[in-house]
């Protein structure tokens, strides 16, 4: 039974998952289906968390839109996540950046890793 679960999960895992880390600013291309048409919508923000591992691995991206914080959780191996492009690398000393939720403006920025 365990072997069959591993076989099914190995089929769902992407061959080359995107490489990024906590604190990076990324552009995530998500496939959106509207009626019969399908388009790719870009969600750009800071990666504040990565969770789990294997087929169920997820990452959380946060951005501020119109003065309101918006967070989305994306499964890395989802067929709807078409691309993850790193815009800039972040220099952080934490695994989870939940403290950014309380910060506003420049205080909510992460320093760039050079």
Domain for residue 84, yes or no? Answer: yes
Percent of the chain that is helix, strand, coil (3-state, to 5): 20, 45, 35
User: What is the DSSP secondary structure assignment for residue 62, as one 8-state letter?
Assistant: E
Domain for residue 21, yes or no? Answer: yes
Q: What is the pLDDT of residues 82-113, one digit of tens each?
A: 999 999 999 999 999 999 999 988 999 999 99
Domain for residue 12, yes or no? Answer: yes
Q: What is the pLDDT of residues 23-65, one digit of tens each?
A: 999 999 999 999 999 999 999 999 999 999 888 999 999 999 9
Domain for residue 114, yes or no? Answer: no
Domain for residue 60, yes or no? Answer: yes
This prediction's pTM? 0.90
Angle ∠(78,56,76) on CA atoms, nearest 5? 40
Domain for residue 105, yes or no? Answer: no
Residue 25, SS3? strand
Domain for residue 62, yes or no? Answer: yes
Q: How many CB atoms lie within 10 A of CB 104?
A: 10
Tally the domains of the chain.
1
- Look at phi and psi of residue 87 and say left if phi exceeds 0, alpha if psi is from -120 to 50, else beta: alpha
CATH number for 68: 2.30.30.790
Task: Answer for the pair 16, 77: CB distance below 8 angstroms, yes or no.
Answer: no
Domain for residue 7, yes or no? Answer: yes
**Residue 6 structural domain:** 2-93
């Amino acid at each position: 039974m365990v072997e069959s679960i591993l076989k099914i999960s190995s089929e769902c895992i992407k061959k080359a998952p995107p490489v990024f880390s906590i604190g990076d600013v990324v552009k995530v291309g998500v496939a959106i289906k509207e009626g019969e048409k399908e388009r790719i919508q870009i969600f750009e923000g800071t990666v504040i968390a990565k969770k789990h591992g294997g087929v169920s691995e997820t990452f959380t991206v946060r951005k501020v839109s119109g003065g309101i914080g918006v967070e989305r959780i994306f499964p890395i191996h989802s067929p709807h996540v078409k691309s993850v492009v790193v815009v800039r690398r972040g220099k952080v000393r934490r695994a989870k950046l939940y403290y950014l939720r309380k910060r506003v403006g420049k205080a909510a920025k992460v320093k760039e890793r050079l």
